[in-house]
Amino acid sequence: MKTTTKKAFPGKLLFQQGMSHVELMIAVALVAVISATAVPGVSDMMERNKLNGTRHQLLTDFNFARNTAVDQYRRVVICPSNDQQTCSGDANWNRGWIIFQDFDTDRQHQAREPLLRVATLDKNIDVSSGKRSSFRFYPDGTAPGSTGSLFLCAKGEPEMGHRLVISNVGRVRSESYSCS
């Protein structure tokens, strides 16, 4: 077998074809340091994105409920649900929620009442509504009763949170909230 040598400069031979162990260890150490500084930032960004996604989903669903009440000229209820068929009756929205037309105005989903939308929730997000177990929208778009709020908190990140405020006139707005 014929071997050839490469010349880096005329008259000088180049014998090194790879990396030494020291160079490899330095490269691995640099990758480890960069990874250690980048991973927490990426993790926070992912939690923030999940929280924002849940906030957008709730805003969309509340606006959908209000618009449907006006369009269909029927009362529409949005409430937390454990089984995605009936209202749970509590203020814990962590298992999801349902939106339905409330023909008999009892704020409970019956078989004859159209189930308009079903939503589930990411397990890393806590959503509660204080004492409100449901929100209802009248055909004129109003949400009777006292102004209500939903609190969205990322588990393990108390400084990251949002509050959705549902006013008596049916307007839904979002604001930053500290969950601590």
Predicted confidence (pLDDT) per residue in 41-55, tens digit:
677 778 888 888 899
Cβ contacts of 116 within 8 Å, gap of 6 or more: 64, 65, 68, 76, 99, 100, 101
Per-residue pLDDT, averaged over 13-31, amounts to 77
Per-residue pLDDT, averaged over 108-128, amounts to 89
Evaluate the CA torsion angle 90, 91, 96, 99 in order and state its sign.
Answer: positive
Instruction: For residue 162, give the H/E element and its range.
Output: strand 157-166
* Contacts of the segment 7-10: beta carbons below 8 A, 24+ positions apart: none
CA gap 60, 52 in Å, rounded: 12
- The DSSP call for residue 174 is E
CA gap 81, 149 in Å, rounded: 17
Best CA proximity match to 164, nearest among 156, 153, 155: 153
Which residues, in sequence order, are bridge partners of residue 157? 154
Does pLDDT of 179 surpass 80? yes
Cβ contacts of 75 within 8 Å, gap of 6 or more: 69, 101, 102, 103, 105, 136, 137, 138, 139
Domain regions of the chain by residue span: 44-176
Kindly state the tokens that stand for 2: 């014929």
CATH tag for 44-176 (out of 2.60.210.10, 3.55.40.10, 3.40.50.970, 3.40.50.300): 3.55.40.10
pLDDT tens, position by position, 44-103: 778 888 888 899 999 999 999 999 999 999 999 999 999 999 999 898 898 999 999 999
End-to-end CA distance of the chain: 73
Per-residue pLDDT, averaged over 101-116, amounts to 93
| pTM of the model as a whole | 0.77
Identify the burial level of 38 via C-beta atoms within 10 angstroms of its C-beta, where 0-12 means exposed, 13-18 middle and 19 or more buried.
exposed
pLDDT tens, position by position, 121-172: 877 888 888 888 999 999 999 998 878 999 998 887 777 889 999 999 999 9
The CA–CA distances, whole Å, from 179 to 14, 53, 129, 150 equal 63, 17, 13, 12
